[in-house]
Structure 1
Amino acid sequence: MNFSLYPEIDPRETGLLKVSELHSIYWERCGNCLGIPILIVHGGPGGGSQKSYRRYFDPAKFDIIQFDQRGCGRSIPHSELQENTTQDLVNDMEKLRDFLKIKDWHLFGGSWGSTLSLVYSIKHPNRVKSLILRGIFLCRESELLWFYQKGASEIFPEEFEAYESLIPIEEREDLIRAFYKMLTSKNKLIREKASIAWTRWEMATSHLIPDNSYLIKSGNTLFSDAFARIECHYFINNIFLEKNFILKYISAVESIPTTIIQGRYDVVCPVRSAWDLRKALPNSKLVIVDDAGHSMRERGITTELLRATNLI
């Protein structure tokens, strides 16, 4: 079977769905209007949807649905932190499903998209037909410390030094909190510098072999402002859920067919999280790609994602 990405396609429908007095979220549908509904849940939080995501699905088979989570991509207001919590996003997904008149759907999410897909599935298990998850992120304290404080720093020391260099030495014991102060500053220049540094750190570490196109993306101030601010906003607030929420309530997902695809050398979301999720979900299938990092664009990850979507 050929596991090449499908050709680029354009949406057949797009819109803005008003989900609160403050927020409206962008949504789109591609592919077959009578096809199998599958929702792409993007990463970040704050990463936004991308046209390349459409290419992981056979457009003759699937009704491919994307949306931009609150405050990012084409959703408005841009980079807004008010009324922006995990429960808000879960509610938005339900509002979108209801608006599109979809009874239930498959979920496809990577990184933070895996987190939000799991939380949604715990809250609404009867609405989820299957899960395809990549680069598992359970938002445990150990995961945040690994990536933003000490751990990944030992593998990419040159990039980590650039990332932490914005923070005064006396504030470096809690880099997430120090960045949050800068990312919510009223000083536009401070906020911009912090957002670029935060975003570059993640872009620089997302591939097994660093990809310069990702580094260029971090210089896009419109993207990096939402990406960095919203990520930091969620992480400093423990994603607005009780500690270890996903594993604590994972039994709600036990009957949902789940495929987990994980790069062995994922520095952003280490394989330990995928392993722990697999142990907690006996019905799930874990595929570890031995020559990959975090990005879904890496060849082995792409192949396994396409294999999983073709099996639906």
Structure 2
Amino acid sequence: MTVPFAQGMLDVGAGHRLSYAEYGRPDAPAAVVLHGGPGSACQPSMLDWFDLSRQRVVLFDQRGAGKSAPAGCIAGNTTQDLVGDIERLRRFLRISNWLVVGGSWGAMLGLMYCGAHPAAVRGMVLRGVFLPGVQQMDWFFQELRALVPVAWTQLTAGMSPAERQAVLPALARRLLRGTHAEGRDAAERWARYEDAVMAAMMGRAGQPQPGQPSGQPSSPQPKPQPGQPPGPLEKYRLQAHYLEHGCFVTERQLFRAARQAAGPAIFVHGTHDWICPPQNLVRLMRFMPQAQVRWVAAGTHTASDPAIRDALRTAIRDMRAGLGEDCG
């Protein structure tokens, strides 16, 4: 297990404290990793993308996510807050500029940060870009049912016809304004649906099959204790908070940030990404014609996909070489 050379909690205001850790060489060029979600967390496997003998890598959990505190807190938690947090962390760590690496939601957040603080960015390596807006939400919660019909039926079991036409609002209502039991049930449904989509996309066994039960109700989950990662309820409440508000960013604002972002950029995207479909990147590239696009044939959405992971490693190595960093 790789041990950080520094770690701590950074107070960013509004009651939030971010958990961060630094790995590799303290005197080497730095990179920051922006995790997906919203509401997920950084994972040790992210370090595998880097050469820690020649790089300084910063991992941190966004507001309310992972080991950051308070767990699952949605107050004072917007995309604009997260963009400010990234810059606050850079200055706190006394890093002059860094490489921004992110995937999915983290790729969108990376674009927003790079557009707001171009002088702080050496370059970007972004994977499986998520876009805000109705089109992305309709795809995942409505149209994707054509590829995972059983999983979608289980996700929407017991919903009214009107709710099945607007699945995200129905889930968000239960998670953000329902009882604890309703919120827990919505979180578990959402998690099972995500798992089923991922399994089907990866071609793995285990995705729901016709006739299989949707699973037994789980026992009540305890609230996370200080210092512990949030559970499914807290994670999906945070995700619902962002998605219900359109991620606090319009597509026009995101595309404007993409235009304003400086420095070289490499985008990695799987041709078989069901979560953030390839059309996302095609649309984005109209505003970043200078960026390099690397399509991964048969690649999916997750960095645990070996093809995506290898493409990400190569992109980071090539970016470092292009920046003149020592890759020898």
Taking structure 1 as the reference length, what is the TM-score of the superposition? 0.90
Query: What corresponds to 2:233 in structure 1?
Result: 225
Which of 16, 27, 30 in structure 2 is aligned with 1:23? 16
Among 96, 100, 118, the alignment partner of 1:103 is 96
Q: Structure 2 vs 1, CA of residues 141 and 304 (structure 1 numbering), >3 Å: closer, same or farther?
A: same
Distance 1:104 1:140 in 2: 30
Alpha-carbon distance in 1 for matches of 2:300, 2:238: 23
User: 1:1-312 maps to which residues of 2 (within 5 A)?
Assistant: 8-149=1-142, 151-165=143-157, 167-185=159-177, 187-206=179-198, 207-210=201-204, 222-253=230-261, 255-311=262-318, 312=320
The one-letter code sitting in structure 1 at the alignment partner of 2:55 is F
Q: Deviations over 1:165-224 (max 9, x none)?
A: 2533332222111111111245222111111111222232234224769xxxxx996432
User: For the pair shown, which has the larger CA radius of gyration, 1 or 2?
Assistant: 2
Inter-partner Cα distance in structure 1 for 2:41 and 2:248: 20
CA distance in 2, matches of 1:184, 1:140: 20
Q: CA deviation at 1:283?
A: 1.2
Q: Supply the distance in 1 between the matched residues of 2:177 and 2:204 (Cα, whole angstroms).
A: 30
- The corresponding residue for 1:216 is none
In the alignment, the residues of structure 1 paired with residue 79 and residue 158 of structure 2 have an alpha-carbon distance, to the nearest angstrom, of: 28
| TM-aligned CA deviation for residue 141 of structure 1 | 1.6
Report the Cα offset of residue 21 of structure 1.
Answer: 3.6
Name the SS of the counterpart of 1:256 in structure 2: coil
1:19 is paired with a residue whose SS is strand
Query: Which structure 1 residue ranges, 5 or more long, are not aligned?
Result: 1-7, 214-218
State the alpha-carbon separation in 2 of the partners of residues 114 and 14 from structure 1.
24
Aligned residue pairs, count: 299
8 Å CA contact retained: 1:251, 1:281: yes
Between the aligned partners of 1:300 and 1:262, the Cα distance in structure 2 is 10
Give the drift of 1:135: 0.6
Instruction: Mark the CA change 1:257 to 1:223 in structure 2 (over 3 Å): closer, same or farther.
Output: farther
Residues 69 and 75, structure 1, Cα contact 8 Å, conserved in 2: yes
- Structure 2 runs not aligned, ≥5 long: 208-217, 222-229, 321-328
SS in structure 1 at match of 2:313: helix
C-alpha RMSD of matched pairs (Å): 2.0
CA distance in 2, matches of 1:284, 1:263: 16
CA distance in 2, matches of 1:76, 1:57: 27
Following TM superposition, by how much is the alpha carbon of 1:125 offset from its aligned partner in structure 2, in angstroms?
Answer: 0.9
Alpha-carbon distance, 1:251 to partner: 1.6
C-alpha distance in structure 1 between counterparts of 2:269 and 2:158, whole Å:
32
What is the CA deviation profile of residues 249-301 of structure 1, one whole-angstrom value per residue up to 9, with x for unaligned ones?
42202x32111111111110000011222232111111111122111111111
| CA-CA distance at 1:240 after TM superposition | 1.1
Which residue matches 1:4? none
**Do the aligned residues in 1 keep the contact of 2:271 with 2:297 (CA within 8 Å)?**
yes
Structure 2 CA distance, aligned partners of 1:174 and 1:86? 24
For residues 94 and 109 of structure 1, the distance between their equivalents in structure 2, rounded to whole angstroms, comes to 15
d(CA) in 2 for partners of 1:228 and 1:257? 34
CA contact (8 A) 1:73 1:223 kept: no
- CA–CA distance in structure 2, aligned partners of residues 210 and 310 of structure 1: 30
Query: Relative to structure 1, is the Cα distance of residues 75 and 10 closer, same or farther in structure 2, using a 3 angstrom cutoff?
Result: same
Q: Taking every aligned residue pair, what percent have the same amino acid on both sides?
A: 28
TM-score between the two structures when normalised by the length of structure 2: 0.86
**Distance across 2 between alignment mates of 1:303 and 1:45:** 24
